[in-house]
Structure 1
């Protein structure tokens, strides 16, 4: 038996390490996986098979479904060009606009109205009020649809609206909303909701569905108003829970030309999830009118994108910074490229502040995040620990750039998840977000280099361990 195990260990290890050498893209990640395979006999190879393989080179991402999804576009007479924002007098904004257009295939649009929703309770009050006013359709997409009061309220609302003739479509991530399978999903179907999981986890597609998740949060109503940001449908945002209390998060209410771009992200995902051949964007997209004075741009990326769109957006924003960068995120575990860009900006004299929660719903992510604090403090980055738990994904640059969305500052959001941010080119919204950021920082606990260096050996060990495992998180 021992001989059989040894032979199996050698064969799986040789295969896995060979796959790493052939398909690996980043040396740090490849080394971590190679050591995991050696240290964890057979189990390490299985983990690599499920979570580590570079499947961008595989047939899955060249399938007919993905090809159709990528060709899914605007009707020929949509006249989107008339809303394109022009930054002729600001090369910083124009360079960022070009980067996102090349990476995400979306252009900054002018004439938008953008409202920032700073609290979960406020978000759901505004969101439910907008859905109550729906006359044609309600399109819903969330990473987490969690059973509770909010989901029950949503179900009751959908039942009433469907009786009024409003169409309701829901797509959700099959892992993030795994409790929705079975009876809860059937309850939505029974009231007339068209509901589909995105990349459902089944044995035949386990290799591809388990590791690549759809982390987007999108709501579109009658193609007139749209919502996106970091908030999931969960009672955590309206009720205190043990340990973390009531979750904080930031969401956006959008009106104007940008609604079409955000709606297109939903329509592509719905087409992919439902596999409805007769599903066309022209049935739902409509001509938009100017709703405000805000220039904004949808940033959408995923594992089938040609570029790591979310990472490129964040690094692009940093590279345009002249004075300040503010980042708020609960899972600040970025790769080396992002860290080096951040450190370069700090060494150039840019004032950088990082706001993260003291507590976390993921201890692994918390220790991996803390493992970078010393090197960031050494180059002058200011770090603040807030007492409450904030799930927000925010980046504020200088006095005229803000990003809010679903994209975390970690390798999963950069490479493995489908994410959507909104990049806002606007001084007023920047000022609003900066004031809120600074208000929270004043209440938070600043991390000093001297105090942080005096942490326990056990904490340093855990940080080192999870920093080593960071590429696998």
Structure 2
């Protein structure tokens, strides 16, 4: 028996270590995984498969990738938004837009109206109002769906719309919405909503699916109105459910040609969840008239895409800054390139403010974030702590460009999650969000380097340990 187990261990270790040698992109990380596999029999190999495999080399969603190529083929998408493509005069905007178009495949599109929704109450109010205007279809995609008042209101709107012959489709992440009751799902299905989980946890696929989550929050109405941001379907955003208080978040409503790009993200995800290509029909991708003067570029990333697109976006927004950078994020755990990039910007005279929550919904995330504070404070970055639980994922460069969406500043958003951001090239919108950001900073408390250095020694130990495990968050 022991001989059999030893042979299995040797074979498993040989295969996994071979995979690390062939496909590992970070030498120190690869060496760490090799040591774990050697000295932690069986469990080390399983942990590597769950959390360490380079998914950019192992394309786990080949069908989805094939559809993605089709999505950008004009033979299948006759109603293109290319006529609204923006050719920027500003070199830094042109470089940023080109990078994101070549990596994420979505171009910067003009002619949009953008409405900023800087609270859950405001976001839900606007979402419900717009949903009630739907004439053809409603497409909804969320990381978290909870049994709550907000979900019940969605149900009533969907019920009324379906009675008006409006098509309704809803997809959700199987892990993020794990607590959603089956009877709630059945309730939506019974009224005609086409509901599907994304990457459900099934026997035989758990090791490939459990660590790769769809973190997007998207709503599309008639192909003309889109919502994107950090707000999930939960009462946490409208009432206090714990000592964290009401969750603060940023969401935007987009009306205009850029909605087509956002809708393509949903269409790909719906195909993957439902194995249904019906949304490739022209009626789901109508020609959209210009509704405003904002330029919007959708940034979408996936765990098996060729590039770390969200990381590229954030690095670029930091690198092109001339005067200031404002960042709001609940999970600020940058990798080494991003950390060095933001430190270089600060040392180069860029004014940088970071807004994080004072309390966190994860102790591991809290201590991991704190492990970066010393390096940030030493180069002059101002760190502010919000008294409410700040859940916004936002970065503003020079009060000219702003990104709002689902992407955090952490390893999971860079490498493991399906994420979507809206990059808005509009000074008026950027200034409006900047003013709101600065007010939140004033309401919160600033962290001084003296206060940080005075923290207990055991905090430093916890921070170091948490930082080691930050890629697993």
Give per-residue Cα distances to partners, 1:386-412, cap 9 Å, x unaligned: 111011000000021100000001011
Q: How does 1:364-379 map to 2 (within 5 A)?
A: 364-379=364-379
1:133 and 2:115 correspond: no
1:68 and 2:67 correspond: yes
Q: Which residue of 2 aligns with 1:275?
A: 275
Q: How does 1:226-305 map to 2 (within 5 A)?
A: 226-305=226-305
Contact 1:171–1:273 at 8 Å: present in 2 too? yes
SS in structure 1 at match of 2:390: coil
Contact 1:32–1:469 at 8 Å: present in 2 too? no
Q: Whole-Å Cα distance in 1 between the matches of residues 429 and 278 of structure 2?
A: 40
Q: CA 1:134/1:83 → structure 2, altered by over 3 Å: closer, same or farther?
A: same
Q: Which residue of 2 aligns with 1:85?
A: 86
Contact 1:66–1:272 at 8 Å: present in 2 too? no
Q: Which residue of 2 aligns with 1:435?
A: 435
SS in structure 2 at match of 1:53: coil
Q: Which residue of 2 aligns with 1:57?
A: 57
More divergent stretch after superposition (354-363 vs 28-37)? 28-37
Q: Whole-Å Cα distance in 1 between the matches of residues 293 and 199 of structure 2?
A: 38
Q: Which residue of 2 aligns with 1:113?
A: 113
Contact 1:69–1:271 at 8 Å: present in 2 too? no
Contact 1:330–1:360 at 8 Å: present in 2 too? yes
Q: Whole-Å Cα distance in 1 between the matches of residues 193 and 77 of structure 2?
A: 30
Q: Which residue of 2 aligns with 1:48?
A: 48
Deviation at 1:164, TM superposition (A): 1.2
SS in structure 2 at match of 1:179: coil
Q: Which residue of 2 aligns with 1:180?
A: 180
Q: How does 1:337-356 map to 2 (within 5 A)?
A: 337-356=337-356
Q: Which residue of 2 aligns with 1:445?
A: 445
Contact 2:71–2:77 at 8 Å: present in 1 too? no
Deviation at 1:163, TM superposition (A): 1.0
1:196 and 2:192 correspond: no
Q: Whole-Å Cα distance in 2 between the matches of residues 182 and 402 of structure 1?
A: 38
Contact 1:301–1:418 at 8 Å: present in 2 too? yes
| Unpaired segments ≥5 residues, structure 1 | none
SS in structure 1 at match of 2:179: helix
Deviation at 1:16, TM superposition (A): 3.8
Q: CA 1:278/1:166 → structure 2, altered by over 3 Å: closer, same or farther?
A: closer
Q: Whole-Å Cα distance in 1 between the matches of residues 385 and 64 of structure 2?
A: 44
Contact 2:81–2:260 at 8 Å: present in 1 too? no
Deviation at 1:315, TM superposition (A): 0.6
TM-score by length of 1: 0.95
Q: Whole-Å Cα distance in 2 between the matches of residues 278 and 154 of structure 1?
A: 24
Q: Whole-Å Cα distance in 2 between the matches of residues 118 and 468 of structure 1?
A: 33
Q: Whole-Å Cα distance in 2 between the matches of residues 36 and 327 of structure 1?
A: 35
More divergent stretch after superposition (236-245 vs 5-14)? 5-14
SS in structure 1 at match of 2:205: helix
Contact 1:358–1:388 at 8 Å: present in 2 too? yes
Contact 1:329–1:393 at 8 Å: present in 2 too? yes
| Unpaired segments ≥5 residues, structure 2 | none
Give per-residue Cα distances to partners, 1:408-449, cap 9 Å, x unaligned: 010110111111101111111111111111111112221111
Q: Which residue of 2 aligns with 1:33?
A: 33
Contact 1:322–1:350 at 8 Å: present in 2 too? yes
More divergent stretch after superposition (190-199 vs 6-15)? 6-15
Q: Whole-Å Cα distance in 2 between the matches of residues 238 and 338 of structure 1?
A: 33
Q: Which residue of 1 aligns with 2:159?
A: 159
Give per-residue Cα distances to partners, 1:13-43, cap 9 Å, x unaligned: 5554443233221234334434544564432
Q: Which residue of 1 aligns with 2:406?
A: 406
Q: Whole-Å Cα distance in 2 between the matches of residues 76 and 42 of structure 1?
A: 48
Contact 1:101–1:107 at 8 Å: present in 2 too? yes
Deviation at 1:204, TM superposition (A): 2.2
Q: Whole-Å Cα distance in 1 between the matches of residues 318 and 212 of structure 2?
A: 27
Deviation at 1:278, TM superposition (A): 4.0
Deviation at 1:258, TM superposition (A): 0.8
Q: Whole-Å Cα distance in 2 between the matches of residues 247 and 42 of structure 1?
A: 40
Q: CA 1:81/1:443 → structure 2, altered by over 3 Å: closer, same or farther?
A: same
1:123 and 2:123 correspond: yes
More divergent stretch after superposition (39-48 vs 196-205)? 39-48
Contact 1:303–1:416 at 8 Å: present in 2 too? yes
More divergent stretch after superposition (334-343 vs 63-72)? 63-72
TM-score by length of 2: 0.95
Give per-residue Cα distances to partners, 1:44-79, cap 9 Å, x unaligned: 322112221123323534x33431243224655324
SS in structure 1 at match of 2:361: coil
SS in structure 1 at match of 2:46: helix
Q: Whole-Å Cα distance in 1 between the matches of residues 341 and 59 of structure 2?
A: 33
SS in structure 2 at match of 1:55: coil
Deviation at 1:376, TM superposition (A): 1.0
